[in-house]
Structure 1
Amino acid sequence: MSNSVFVPGHITGFFTIENHEIKLKKGSCGAGFLLSKGVKTTISPCDKLIIDVNQGDSTVIDEVLSILEIDANFKITQDIQLPIGAGFGTSAASALSLTLALNEFLNLGYSEELCGQIAHMAEVNLGGGLGDVIAQTGKGLVLRTKPGAPGIGEIKSFNEKVFIGWKTFGGIETSSVISNPHQKEVITSAGEKYVGLFEDEPTLENFLDFSQNFSRDIGLMSDEVKNLIDYFNSSSDILGSSMAMLGNTVFAFAYDEDVLKNLNVENLNIDELNNIGIVYD
């Protein structure tokens, strides 16, 4: 019998980089939000191991299978609904949805927390995101108050009814940024400031303001990203706009979906803040 697990995509607005020699304690603090699109993993009976991914390769899947030391036959189907490598947390969603789906399909008996730790380990091993997995166990706006994997790090979730417009101009190699000593220092210095301010007053307005200030402070914004942010912010009906961390991607929030539909932005994608979180099917 087949089973599926959906994990929402996650965009970070501002963050710190928290290194630790213990991989499960390595991570980040910061704030971001969950999308209604993400990654859905389906496990089906099969007489051999088949991996079917609609975009990208099987690197994340191979890493999770290696950590779990699974040698069995079944079919893994992954529907990745967002661009890869552009700040949407797709590799974390891939790892987490796969681990949760395998746990159910194979009756491994693991807790959701342990599955999250396995997914976090896969992310760290591959040099990907440092906080997406734990954020993807939350709902709506997510503040990461303590770094690390689920069960070690800590988060707070805030539900909001809001629509999100986003457009990506491509990816940024996360590993090249988070491994650069100078860039890490700049990011963490700015991130600590805005995380502290947001903890004091966790409003939607502050999230958007702090995200934009952070993206300008760390100097990773391309001209095309800056121009689109400026365009979004020129509309009084847009609540705020910023850059996805880490991706060459812009997002904007609005209470009214029609506000986003009526913007003059080619290939603008419109999503909704995900206040539900992980879904088992």
Structure 2
Amino acid sequence: MLCALGAAVCFGTATVLQAMAARAVSDDGADAGASGGEAALLLRAVRQWRYLAGLGLDGLGFVFQIAALRSLPIYAVGAALASSLAVTAVVAARLLRVRLSRTEWLAVGVVCAGLAMLGLASGTEGEESGPEALPWVMLGTAGAVLLLGPAGGRLAGRGRALVLGLGAGFGFGVVEVTVRLIDSLAPSDLLTDPAIYALLLGGGAAFLLLTSALQRGSVTTATAGIVIGETIGPALVGVIWLGDRTREGLTWLAVLGFAVAVAGALALARFGEAPEPTPTPAPAPAP
């Protein structure tokens, strides 16, 4: 559980650092009249130490995520990762001077309460490997997520953001499940294991859809779709096929904690991307 929470802290803090870097290069580009679109903006952002630090935290968070998935039920790790939005909200309030409403502070507390209930109720990871076809199903799901990009990109507004966000969430969910399906790290075994290809394809497709979803459309809608996609489906796979269970007599507490943590994360969905800076009002003209 400490690894799962560590991953959430890394991912949540990385979002704010990358937001600060993107804002800095946007301001510099505007002052200098620079152009070149999103690609040029990304190249300028990579030169910022905050952006590089954010990438480093993303990598560290992924290591923590893998460690957590190898010893905790998927439902507990998924809810903990969704709580990274609470971390982003708190860090953004500190570094980006974003004001959180009372409702949002309450949502942060709700996420923490849900995770506490999950921590008390979670058992160890299941020891079952699931049906033999499960790795191939995950590979097919990853391919479907990749194909969802062009289809969802034709939509407009909230529909586009929701479809692409859900697709990104399903891709991240494939990563969560396939980490549990990989039994051997020997190169000869990895080359013939469909789970490793599902992991790579699912993770790559998820990042592509996430980028596309956040370029245009509602950030809140896209992030809500991601939270739903990466928590509910993988949790069901873990319980039904991989043997994830709770402590004796605490199933109700795990279900309640999962629902509370995800609900709190959805309430903080606007922090799924860098919050826009608050515009400074222009001075009044002199009489």
Instruction: Please report the TM-score for the alignment, with normalisation by the length of structure 2.
Output: 0.27
The structure with the greater share of residues assigned to helix is 2
Name which one, 1 or 2, has greater alpha-carbon Rg: 2
The structure with the greater share of residues assigned to strand is 1
